[in-house]
Structures are given as C-alpha cells and as structure tokens.
Amino acid sequence: MTYLKISIATIALNFALLHNVSAATINSFSDWGITSTGVTTSAAGVYSHTEDQTGNYLSPGYGGQDYDAEGIYATWDSNYLYVGVMTGRAPTASGWSAGDIAFDFGSDKSYEYGLITTDHSGSYPAAAGIGSPGELFQVSQWNYGIWDQAGNHVGYGSSAADTDHPTSVAAGSAVANAVKNNSFSYQALGSSSQYGAGGQSYFISAAIDLNTFGGASFLDDGLSLHWAATCNNDWIQLDIPAQSVPEPSTLALLSLGLFGIIAARRKTSTKV
Ligand SMILES: [Ca+2]
Ligand SMILES: [Ca+2]
Ligand SMILES: [Ca+2]
C-alpha cells in the first residue's frame, strides 16, 4: 500500500512538470486552448487573464477595438516560458503602435524585461520604443502612456503618467539568444467575427529560454506580465503566483529514487 501511494505521488509530480503545453507560435495556436469563439482558455497549465471589450471606453483610455487588450496568457515547460497577448491593435497600426510585453519578476511594479513586439514604424516618434520585433531586452527605462488614472488624460511625456503600466522599452540592452528561434509571432486571427468581440484580433507570442530568468527558479517570487499600446489606452496584466518549479534533473533523480524504492519493495514482497 505504501509503495502504491509513492507511485501515485511520482506520477502527479511528473504530470505537474509536463502538462504545460508547448504553445510557441501562432501556428500551434490551438495549444493555448483558445477556441474560435472567444478569448478564454481552459487548457491545463495555461495561466490567463482576459478583458475583451467592445465599446469605445476601455480603461484607462478610449479607442475601442483598435486598442483593446483582450487577453494575456502564459505557460511553460522545463525549457521555455511561453507568453501570448491577444489585442485589437495591429502590428502595423499608425499612430500609437503596439507596446512591448513587460515582465515584472516579483510582481513589485518594477519591470525587468521587455519583449519587443513591433519596430514602431508609423508610430508617434516620441512614444516609439527601441529594438526589433522578437528581441528580449533587459530594461533600464520604460515609456509610459498618456493617462494618470482612468479617464484622466495627462498627455505623452507627462511626469504624472501612470508608471505602474509601462508601454514600450525606452532604454536597455538586448539579451542574446533569449527568444527561441522563429518563435516570435504577431499575426491576425481569422476573420473579424472570430476571437475577441468587437472586430479583428491579433495574437502576439514567443517562447523565451528559461535560462534567461535563472532557470527553474524563475517563479520563486512570482511573475507579472503586462501589455498595452504605447498610449496605454488599455492595459492588461497577468499575475502568476510564486511557486517552485522542479529542476528537471532533480525531478528525474527523485523519480528514479522513488521507482527504486518501489522496485526494492516489490522485490522484497516477491520474496515473502
Ligand atoms: Ca474586443
Ligand atoms: Ca480590454
Ligand atoms: Ca520586479
């Protein structure tokens, strides 16, 4: 009976590590568990937060579907953190371009990394970020939007702008080999009647090497992911609680050890 319990615990532990799907690109979009009728997902191991809107007012700003941040998603396996954002903002939109995906380790409102989503061509120059689409930056300075609180416009570059909600990377350094080759994607989702309500939706996604964030300890203090267009008309944030992610090597040894115990007990029982 004892070894049966150990066996079940081992299986549960393995499942906890392996059930996170490999949702790397738009080409495997179904891996995120998002159907063609909405923005929500029920896929095991996928963390998500959705705020799909249709009206002109979004919070803190305005702009309707063109600026709607509709969903933000994350999952991981033993090698990569996969991130996704669904929005009505097109990658080539003029005016306020799409912002970058911001990473806040420790969920303390200090955003350490940014995944560049566009080259900001056609954007308002003052608000444009740096870097090339698909690059990950260690960030020393962010740009912010044009609001200080819901509905209160302060204009671009104001010191009163809400710094809890960064938009694009203003300064920092690119981290080499952080983003898995060919994993970055920013594409339209089907026709305008699909996915997020209110019109056309787009999906931004990438796979990031966990070694960039310290490997298996990357969630020890929790992680918040954040996205907004460069105006911050609508921001969206996903908070992943602190948790320990097993080291693959430790897990393998643990499994071997437990199976060793099971084997030994079975051996013992055959003797009896
Ligand atoms: Ca929408
Ligand atoms: Ca929204
Ligand atoms: Ca932080």
Contacts of 62 (CB under 8 A, 6+ apart): 56, 233
Q: Answer yes or no: are the C-beta atoms of 218 and 211 closer than 8 Å.
A: no
What are residue 11's phi and psi, to 5 degrees? -60, -40
Helix, strand, coil percentages (3-state) for the chain, rounded to 5, are 25, 30, 45
Ligand nearest to the CA of 69: 2
- The Cα–Cα gap between 156 and 8 comes to 56
Distance (Å, rounded) from C-alpha 63 to C-alpha 13?
Answer: 46
Q: Is residue 132 part of a domain?
A: yes
pTM of structure: 0.83
**Cβ–Cβ < 8 Å for 24, 205:** yes
Nearest-Å Rg of the Cα atoms of the chain is 21
Q: What one-character DSSP code corresponds to residue 270?
A: H
Domains identified in the chain, total number = 1
Q: Within a domain: residue 263?
A: no
Ligand nearest to the CA of 189: 1
Cα–Cα distance, 145 to 158 (Å, whole number): 9
| CA 34 to chain CA mean position, Å | 15
In a domain, 17, yes or no: no
Place of tokens 């150990």: 6
Tell how far the Cα of 103 is from the centroid of ligand 3, in angstroms.
8
What domain range includes position 55? 22-245
Over its length of 272 residues, how does the chain's per-residue pLDDT go in tens digits?
Answer: 343 443 333 333 333 443 445 545 565 677 898 877 789 998 888 999 999 999 999 999 999 999 999 999 999 999 999 999 999 999 998 899 999 999 999 999 999 999 999 998 878 877 789 999 999 999 999 999 999 989 899 999 899 999 999 999 999 999 999 999 999 999 998 777 788 899 999 999 999 999 999 999 999 999 999 999 999 999 999 999 999 886 655 555 555 555 444 444 544 444 33
Q: Which sign, positive or negative, has the C-alpha torsion 132, 135, 136, 137?
A: negative
Output the CA 66–ligand 2 centroid distance in Å: 10
Cis status of the peptide bond prior to 125, with omega within 30 of 0: no
**Ligand positioned closest to the Cα atom of 166:** 3
- Residue 97 tokens read as 């371009």
Residue 261 is encoded by which pair of tokens? Answer: 């115990």
Q: Where are the alpha helices (DSSP H) in the chain?
A: 2-18, 248-271
Ligand nearest, relative to CA of residue 236: 2
- Centre of ligand 1 to C-alpha 189, Å, is 12
